[in-house]
Amino acid sequence: MSALDINNLQNTFQNAINLSGSAGAVSTSPTQSFMDTLPRRMSTSKHAKVLKPFSTGDMKILLLENVNETAVSIFKEQGYQVEFNKSSLPEDELIKKIEDVHAIGIRSKTKLTSNVLKHAKNLVVIGCFCIGTNQVDLEYATTHGIAVFNSPFSNSRSVAELVIAEIISLARQLGDRSIELHTGTWNKVSNKCWEVRGKTLGIIGYGHIGSQLSVLAEAMGMHVFYYDTVTIMALGTAKQVPTLDELLKKSDFVTCHVPATAETKNMLSAPQFAAMKDGAYVINASRGTVIDIPALVQACKANKIAGAALDVYPNEPGKNGAGAFNDDLNSWTSELVSLPNIILTPHIGGSTEEAQSAIGVEVATSLTKYINEGNSVGSVNFPEVSLRSLDYDQENTVRVLYIHHNVPGVLKTVNNILSNHNIEKQFSDSNGDIAYLMADISSVDQSDIKDIYTQLNETDPKISIRLLY
């Protein structure tokens, strides 16, 4: 297995994301940019030492759900064994596949439950090639030493642009007019069709997507209010409001950009629809549990809500195909699809060539850095720990990656085991009940490595260990 070559990886990134031919087609994420500014920990050496794992065999990568080719290329350049699948897998087949892989890459359809993960004997890292990680049992992964990475920013622009398109489409009833003309009906009307200029957009959740949407909406002449649980500096002339109720009362269009949590479940339900302006519009491109869809159906039937655009649903089909979106999946489906001015899309908010290419590079880079160097910067469930790469001239040096329970006395125990060798550099951090220690030690040979591995493996706080040399 070859080590990550920083220069080649940067070239791969530029080539992969430069789809339109312009240098600024896709930008790196804020996390990626931050990582590039860490000279103390990140290697700037052109001669990084090739590290290989001790006692793990060849690195096997399982990629599901048609993960972008940029990721496949990055993994293959590392010499990993890559198995690529265009779709998700049934649980029984997934359990068989995951048994001997060291890394798995998924999108939103694959469910990595504790029942699946308990069969993964060699799994080191999980890559979610999407924003969310709710499809992974993070508690199980964390307590078993499996790092999880995602791409929280790379598709922000794609989602924001979709919402802008839906705002205009709802205001002009474009969905209905298109369906009518496809069936031969000419229905040229202006009644209750509006310009969006001068209208008010209410954004629930002013994160990376919400803030980008804010800028785009203002450029079209809209007034923007936003509600968030934390105080966030506004972009442009947008204004933060203190309560959700105030946002609902002020807004002609309400759009949701929040995670799926217990607090956001059915965040918009009958009381919230009642508080909105008559003839307002609702958009959800965040998570399917955020909107109470039966309540939305009733609000639309009562003409309280003039239209809605939904890209996400409580239950979504596991694969593409005719008839997949039906009442067996969600009991209200038939009623929803019969309503006028309802735009329904199959979870495509981030499904653009630019976004998927950038996501492929970002997540594959994070996984490769973790596999090759132990770098956990950007992990959603691990402490963020990294050390600069070893140089070629640093012979007889081993990198210790020790994931353990966050209990007193661990550093003393580990350093006693390493005390016969020179500890060149060491970094440790904790996150709740889990802690992660990295150390580079020199003056070791093959027998020393085996002895260190055995001793660390026998320590009580150990969750998992890897040695790279």
- Residues recognised as catalytic: 287, 316, 347
Q: Which residue reads 């934390």 in tokens?
A: 230
Give strand ranges (E) for 242-341.
Answer: 253-256, 280-284, 305-310
Q: How far apart are CA 342 and CA 323, in angstroms?
A: 18
CB 155 within 8 A of CB 350: yes
The rounded distance, in Å, linking the Cα atoms of 221 and 195 is 10
Sequence-distant (≥ 6) Cβ neighbours of residue 366 within 8 angstroms: 127, 149, 377, 378, 379
Distance CA 412, CA 354 (A): 48
End-to-end CA distance of the chain: 12
Burial class (CB in 10 A: 0-12, 13-18, 19+), 386: buried
For 423-454, give one letter per residue: b (16+ CB within 10 A) or e. eeebbbbbbeebbbbbbbbeebeeebbeebbe
Nearest of 16, 3, 2 to residue 362 by alpha carbon: 16
Please give the Cα distance from 15 to 113 (Å, whole number).
35
Cβ(400)–Cβ(425) under 8 Å? no
